[in-house]
Amino acid sequence: MRTDFAFVGVMLVTAALLMGVALVAAALLRPKKPNKAKLETYECGMETVGDTWVQFRVQYYILALVFVLFDIEAILLFPIAVAFNSLTFFAVANAILFIVVLLIALLYAWRKGALDWE
Amino acid sequence: MNFINDLLKIIGDFIAGIIQSILGFSPFLADLVTMGLAAVILCTFAALSFMGLTYVERKVVARIQDRVGPNQAGPFGLLQPIADGIKMFTKEDTTPATADRWVYNLAPLVIAIFALTTYAVLPFAPGVVGTNLNVGVFYIIAIGSGSIVAIIMAGWGSNNKYALLGAFRTVAQLVGYEVPMLLNVLPVVMLTGSMSLIDIVNRQTTLDGNPGIPFIVFFPLSALIFLISGIAETARSPFDLLEAESEIVAGFHVEYSGMKFALFFLGEYVNALAVAFVFSTLFLGGYAGPILPPYVWLLLKAAAVFFVFMWLRGTLPRIRVDQMHNMNWKFFVPVSILHLVVVMALMKLFVTSPAAAQANGGILVTPIVQAAILFTASALVLIGSLAIAARRARIMRLQEEALVAQRRAENIAAVSA
C-alpha cells in the first residue's frame, strides 16, 4: 500500500526532472536578444489599455459553485460504488434518494437560470 | 506463445533482477532504482508517443481535409517531429515584461508533469503496470484536473487579456465536463466493486467466471458520454474553446513560445492519449483479447479511440460557448444521473452471484442475461433522452421561425403603410 503510492511520488519527481532538463537545455541552446518591443504584451499590434487582472463574469463563479456540488456528490458516491455488491436494497434505495435530491437541486439551478449562458 | 504474451513482464522482471543483484545490500535502494527506471520508461513512452502522434495527427487530418500534410522532412515527412523538436529547442523565448514570472514559467512544467503522471496506473499487460492503486480511477480523474490549475496559471501569469479569457473559459469547461465523466465511471466501478484498473480489466475477461463482455456493451450510454467528455476534458477540437484562434488568438498559451509552448503541446497530446487508454481500459476491455499479445491489444484499442479523436477534429466545426455549457449541464449531467439511478436499481434487482442473492435478495440471473438487461436499459435511456432533446430543439426552432416570420410580416406592413 505504502509502496503503491511511493511510485506516484517517484513518477512526479521523474517527470519534473525530465521536463525540467528539457526546459534548461532549451534555455541554454536558444538565442537571447530581448528588446522593448519584443517584451510587450501581445494584443494584435495594439498597445494594451488598462489592467488585465480585473473583475470577471459572475457566471463563471455560479457554474463553479454548481460544479462543487456535484464534485462532492461524486466523492460521496464512489465509496457506495465500491461497496455496491454487498449493499442491501434499503441502502441502495437511500443512495438513489440521495442522487434524486441532487437531480432536483440541478433542476432548481436550471430553473433559476444559473446554467444559462448569454 | 506464452513468451511473446508476457514479453514486457519478462523483460521487466529481468531488469529488476539485475538491479536486485547489484544493490542487494539495500532493499530500499533497489526498490527506489527499480521504480525510478520504470518511471523513466513510462515518461519516455509518453514523450515518444507524443512525437509520433503529432506526425500521425497532422497526416490523418490532412487526408480528411484533402491535403497532403507534412512531406518535406525525410521520406513521407517522417522526420517532421524531429525537425519540430530542433526548432522548439533553438527558438528564442520571450517573457512579457509585465508577466508574473514565477507563475508564467512554472505553468508549462506543471501541465507536463500532471499529464505524464497519469500513466502511472495504466495496465499495459497482466503484471505490467506502474503501480496498481486501489483508487486507480479516482487517481486518474484527480490527476487529470491538475492541468486545469496549470492552464489558469498560464492565463493569469501571462498578464494578457486573451490569455486570461482563455483561462476563464477553461475553468468553466474543464471543470464542468468532469461531472459527467465522474458520473459515468460510477456504473463501471459498481459492477466491478473496485476502483483498481486491473480489477476492472479482469471483470471484462473470462477470469473468475465473468462473462468476458467489455463494459461498452453493459453501458453504451456511459461509454458515449465518457468519450465526449474526455474530448472536452483534454480541450481538443471541437471543444477547443480555450484556444479558439478566431476569437481569442491562441487562448491561454498566446504568450508562450519555444520549449515552454512545446510542453503545453506535450501536455495536451499526452492527456488525450491517456484518455484514449483509459477509455479502452474502462469500456473496451483493456489489454484483454484473443490471439494477439495483451500489450498489442491495448495499443490497438487506444489507437482506434485516438483515431476517432482525430476524425472528429478533422470534420466538426468548433462549438459555441453557450452550446458547450448547455450540452454539459442541460443534457449530459441530467441524463447521466437518470442513467445512474436506473442502472443502480437494475443491478441490485438482477444479481449474478448466489451469495448476494441470498444475503440481499434480488433475482438470480446468468451474467449474459444481466448484460442484456443493462444494455437494453442503457440504450433505452440513451434513445429516450436523445428523442426528448430532439423534440425540444424542434420546438425551439419552430418558435424562432415563427418569430422571424412575424417580424418580416411587420416590416412588410410598415413599408407598405
Q: Tell me, what's the pLDDT at A81?
A: 87
Query: In chain B, what is the straight-line distance between the N-terminal and C-terminal CA atoms, in Å?
Result: 89
Which of B120, B158, B259 is facing A11, going by the closest CB pair? B120
Q: Tell me, what's the pLDDT at B151?
A: 86
Distances (CA, A) of B364 to B174, B355, B415: 41, 10, 75
Contact list, A53 vs chain B (CB under 8 Å): 156, 159, 164
Instruction: Mark whether B220 and B349 lie in a shared domain.
Output: yes
Instruction: Mark whether B113 and B84 lie in a shared domain.
Output: no
Contact list, A85 vs chain B (CB under 8 Å): 190, 193, 353, 356
Q: Is A12 on the interface with B (CB under 8 A)?
A: yes
Q: Tell me, what's the pLDDT at B243?
A: 67
Instruction: Mark whether B98 and B84 lie in a shared domain.
Output: no
- How do the domains of chain A map onto residue ranges? 2-111
Q: Is the pLDDT of residue A38 over 60?
A: yes
CA distance B126 to B89: 38
Taking CA atoms, what residue in A is nearest to B36?
A: A10
Neighbours of B382 (CB within 10 A): 18
Which of A19, A25, A44 is facing B89, going by the closest CB pair? A25
Q: Tell me, what's the pLDDT at B306?
A: 92
Domain count, chain B: 2
Q: Tell me, what's the pLDDT at B304?
A: 92
- A34 with B179: Cβ contact below 8 A: no
Instruction: Mark whether B337 and B230 lie in a shared domain.
Output: yes
> Would the CA dihedral through B286, B287, B291, B292 be positive or negative?
positive
DSSP B50-75: HHHHHHHHHHHHHHHTT-----SSSG
Distances (CA, A) of B172 to A52, B165, B215, B301: 19, 11, 30, 31
Cis, bond preceding A34 (omega within 30 deg of 0): no
- B161 with A44: Cβ contact below 8 A: no
- A43 with B139: Cβ contact below 8 A: no
Which of B112, B258, B321 is facing A26, going by the closest CB pair? B258
Q: Tell me, what's the pLDDT at B203?
A: 83
Q: Which amino acid is at A5?
A: F
DSSP class of residue A87? -
Instruction: Mark whether B40 and B111 lie in a shared domain.
Output: no
Average pLDDT of adjacent 10-residue blocks, chain B of 417 residues: 73 80 77 83 88 89 86 83 86 80 87 88 81 84 85 83 81 85 90 86 78 84 90 82 67 79 87 91 83 84 91 86 84 90 86 73 78 87 89 90 91 85
Instruction: Mark whether B162 and B306 lie in a shared domain.
Output: yes
CA distance B314 to B308: 10
Q: Tell me, what's the pLDDT at A71?
A: 85
Q: Tell me, what's the pLDDT at B8?
A: 76
Last residue in a domain, options B90, B119, B134: B90
- Contacts of residue B376, Cβ cutoff 8 Å, sequence gap at least 6: none
Instruction: Mark whether B85 and B124 lie in a shared domain.
Output: no
Instruction: Mark whether B336 and B193 lie in a shared domain.
Output: yes
Phi, psi at residue A85, to the nearest 5°? -65, -25
DSSP B116-136: HHGGGG-EEETTEES---TTH
User: In this predicted complex, what is the ipTM?
Assistant: 0.87
Q: Which pLDDT tens digit goes with each residue over A8-30? A: 888 888 888 888 888 888 888 88
Q: Tell me, what's the pLDDT at B279?
A: 92
What stretches of B118-205 show up as alpha helix (H) in DSSP? 136-144, 146-157, 161-192, 197-203
Instruction: Mark whether B307 and B199 lie in a shared domain.
Output: yes
Residue among B49, B55, B91 nearest B75 (CA): B55
Q: Tell me, what's the pLDDT at B305?
A: 92
- B179 with A74: Cβ contact below 8 A: yes
Cell numbers linked to B383: 434513445
Q: Is the pLDDT of residue A44 over 70?
A: no
pLDDT confidence bin for A2, thresholds 50/70/90? low
Taking CA atoms, what residue in A is nearest to B177?
A: A67
Which of A15, A20, A106 is facing B116, going by the closest CB pair? A15
Q: B259, B265, B324, B340: best mutation site toward chain A, by most A Cβ within 10 Å?
A: B259
Give CATH for domain A2-111. Answer: 1.20.58.1610
Which of A38, A84, A95 is facing B94, going by the closest CB pair? A38
Instruction: Mark whether B32 and B168 lie in a shared domain.
Output: no
DSSP class of residue B286? T
Give the domain range for residue B81. Answer: 1-90
Taking CA atoms, what residue in B is nearest to A44?
A: B249
Instruction: Mark whether B159 and B70 lie in a shared domain.
Output: no
A94: closest CA of chain B, how far (Å): 11
Chain B contacts in chain A segment 88-107 (CB below 8 A):
88-89, 92, 95-96, 99-100, 102-103, 106-107
